Structure 1
Amino acid sequence: MRGPEMIRVSKFYKESKEGKFVSFMDKDVRTLYDSFRKGAKESNNGPCLGWRESFTKPYQWLHYNETLLRAKNFGSGLVSHGLYPSSETFIGIYSQNCPEWILTEQAAYCYSMVIVPLYDTLGPDACAYIIKQTEISVVVCDDDAKCNLILDKAPRCLKKLIVIRETRPATNQRARNRGVEIIRFEDVEKLGASKDNPEV
């Protein structure tokens, strides 16, 4: 490199010296929405999301097309529950990595919504602050414990918790007392499949 003006330019992309930069990696892929569909096409509907119930059990797989359909159904279900398809709509997700995390992410892309990840390491105060600042009305949680952590400090904007695994009756009652509806992830998917709201 000759001087400091090129300090942030990759030496691997020679045209960058003339001020031409890579704006996309593939002519058919401009968004995260596009990239997942490109993966489905390139893999010929290959295996996409793998998980196992425990270390002793074999992996189970969702293929791309099934993943895309389930994501669309979940997103359609979110719309049916009153979320507006827009980049101004934020969906919280408080979960360990699992297929439903990716389904939520892809559902958001189908309906031009934004996901806001929440993590244990942030602590309940930070999670509540993020929910309040972004005015999140829906958070996807993976288990009962995370639902309770959210409910401990839930701001008034929170209206729905979508749960991946079952919650205890006491948690359901606690949510009702706070004016928060608990809905099962699979029920949102089923509702979305029946309504079939168009992607945005």
Structure 2
Amino acid sequence: MSDEDLLDLWQHNKALIATGAATLAGVATFAYLFSGTRQTPVPRPSIDLNDQSVIIDGKPYHRASKLSKPPDFFQRKFPIPNVKIVSDVLELGKKASDNGHCLGSRGGKGTPYEWLLYQQVIDQVKQFGAGLIHKGSKPKNTTFIGIFATNRPQWTIADYGSHYYSMVPVPLYDTLGKDACQYIIKQCEIEVVVVDTEDRVRMLAQMKKSLPTLKRIIMIEDLSGEIKKQVEELSIEILRFTDVLVSSPSLDQKYIIFTCLSKTNYPVSRASAHFIVF
């Protein structure tokens, strides 16, 4: 059976496979609970873990999935037709959950989660991306946006907000170390970094001499006046995350400007607000 046949077989039978897997999982769980302290044997994988990809271009470090197709090994059969880029999953989640909970956070252990609905997240994603552009970032695939923060709703919003407008998010982590973070920012020529804590702001400030491209820091949490002053003295603009979220237009804002010729053959312009249209 060819690789293409394997792929078609998977596409036509994935629902049945998923149902069977769920049934087997339920049976295994029941058996484990019923058996008391006896351990369920670890199941063996159905594929060879040492033979999951194929070499392309004749180079051992250029590899592709065995389910992809030559000559370019790019998979064009999308499992869900309407989901072709990462941002599309938000609309899919909204539809599947009937605009249910999407991103949640809580103040501490034992406290209830506060949730953002899918539509709220979608709105903030668009607003954040538009805010980046408004502040000077160019909406193209060579614009890199650093994200230096722990997992939280703002992390995801910054991530989706970047690539929604073709910009590329670049995660930075403490575990990488200071030198690695500095290298990544320089290598990608990052101008904007989304940061959550003062400690991470200090770290970036200490590296500023080696980071000529760094222009703006977008703060998720509040920043003390002293540190803000120190950072601004380094010619780095400090913005609050909430301030980057561009709000939707109000009813009295201009919607369009019409221009026509007057009786004297000179152009005359008239502005129309949103509320006038309706």
Write out the 4+ residue segments of structure 1 that deviate beyond 6 Å after TM superposition.
17-20
Aligned residue number for residue 183 of structure 1: 239
**Residues 14-59 of structure 1: CA distance to partner in whole angstroms, max 9, x if unpaired?**
x959979674221111110112211111111110001110113111
Tell me the equivalent position of 1:12. none
Task: Choose 47-56 or 19-28, whichever is displaced more.
Answer: 19-28
2:102 aligned partner, one-letter code: C
Q: Does 1:53 align with 2:97?
A: no
1:66 corresponding residue in structure 2: 120
Name 2:187's counterpart in structure 1. Answer: 133
* Aligned-pair CA distance for 1:179: 0.6
- Are 1:98 and 2:152 an aligned pair? yes
Moved more, 20-29 or 50-59: 20-29
CA distance in structure 2 between the partners assigned to 1:178 and 1:68 by the alignment: 34
Map of 2:212 onto structure 1: 156
**1:42 aligned to 84, 88, 96, which one?**
96
TM-score, structure 2 length as denominator? 0.62
- 1:88 and 2:132 correspond: no
| Deviation per residue, 1:82-127 (Å, 9 max, x gap) | 1111111100000000000011011012211100000001112211
Gaps of 5+ in 1: 10-14
Bigger RCO of structures 1 and 2 (CA < 8 A, at least 6 apart) = 1
Residue in structure 1 matching 2:169, options 105, 115, 124: 115
Partner of 1:79 in structure 2?
A: 133
Measure, in 2, the Cα distance between the counterparts of 1:159 and 1:23: 41
Relative to total residues, which structure has the larger strand share, 1 or 2?
Answer: 2
What one-letter code is carried by the residue in structure 1 that aligns with 2:103?
L
- 1:172 paired with 2:172, answer no
Larger helix percent: 1
Give distance in 2, aligned partners of 1:188 and 1:145. Answer: 21
| Structure 1 residue 8, shift from structure 2 partner | 2.9
Aligned counterparts of 2:68 and 2:148: Cα–Cα separation in 1: 43
State the identity as a percent.
38
Counterpart CA distance in 2 for 1:43 and 1:51 is: 19
Deviation at 1:175, TM superposition (A): 0.9
When the two structures are aligned, how many residues end up with a matched partner?
A: 185
Alpha-carbon spacing, 1:179–1:195, altered in 2? closer, same or farther (3 Å): farther
Are 1:8 and 2:56 an aligned pair?
Answer: no
Three-state SS of the structure 1 residue aligned to 2:247 is helix
> Cα–Cα, structure 1 residues 18 and 160, in superposed 2: closer, same or farther, change >3 Å?
closer
Task: Quote the Cα distance in structure 1 between the aligned partners of 2:152 and 2:214.
Answer: 23
Q: TM-score, normalised by structure 1?
A: 0.85
